Amino acid sequence: MHSVIAVDNIQTEVNSWTDVILNENLGVYEMVLAIEADFIVKNDAMKSMDQMRNEMSAQEIEKIEKNGDLIIDAGEEAGLLTLAASQQGKKVYKGSRNLARLTAKARKANRDAEVAEMQLKSEEANAEKDEMECDICPGLQDKVERLKGESKNAVIAAGQIAEQAREDSRNAYDNGNKIKELHTQSDERRGKDVEAVEEVKRRVGRRRSGTSC
């Protein structure tokens, strides 16, 4: 019975890791969408810049384009990290399903072992009472040991799944933090690009206004 309890406890732990990864991935997808939105805003700013290149210095153009490239890089890296997080989530979910099968297997092996052990004790008692050898007792003893071994192996396999789930969960969490950082960088670069282009617009507007006067 201890093996069944052990597998149950491990399954509870892995289920909690699964929930953590799913929640983490939801936040990841939202941040990736935000980075994609920054990319769209960046493109609009670049289009405006293209119309004013003659009014801009080479340094201004280079700075805006560099920020734009960083937003593109952030989007690409975030996409790769999101794919990795999704794969990790699938692995943990699959592990959770395997644990459910292991739990069922451990329960059956434990139950069958208890039945075989009771039968063994009964046969041993009858043989002792009749002062006879128990011909089927060795086979029953082997059956009990085999079933206990199956239950023990289920616990070992469950522990391996749990360890993998912990690692995948940590990786998913780390990927989420990296994407948060990329989102912060993208948001900052997008703001700088927009502000730089708007400043050029204001400068051009003032210049044209002064010319018309």
Residue-wise pLDDT for 186-196, tens only, equals 888 888 888 88
Q: At what angle do helices 2-50 and 137-212 cross, to 10 degrees?
A: 20
Residue-wise pLDDT for 123-165, tens only, equals 889 888 888 888 888 998 999 899 888 888 888 888 888 888 7
Helix, strand, coil shares of the chain, percent, nearest 5, are 95, 0, 5
Whole-angstrom Cα distance, residue 182 to residue 170?
18
Q: At what angle do helices 137-212 and 58-130 cross, to 10 degrees?
A: 170
Those residues whose C-beta lies under 8 Å from the C-beta of residue 172, and which sit 6 or more positions away, are 20, 21, 24, 25, 85, 88, 89
Say how many C-beta atoms besides its own lie within 10 A of residue 200's C-beta: 21
Residue-wise pLDDT for 47-62, tens only, equals 888 888 887 888 888 8
Arithmetic mean of pLDDT, 29-34: 80
Say how many C-beta atoms besides its own lie within 10 A of residue 164's C-beta: 17
Question: What mean pLDDT is reported for the chain?
Answer: 81
What phi, psi does 106 have (nearest 5°)? -65, -40
Whole-angstrom Cα distance, residue 171 to residue 86?
11
So what's the pLDDT on residue 210? 66
CB 35 within 8 A of CB 71: yes
Q: Domains in the chain and their CATH numbers? A: 2-106+162-212 (1.20.1260)
Whole-angstrom Cα distance, residue 207 to residue 212?
9
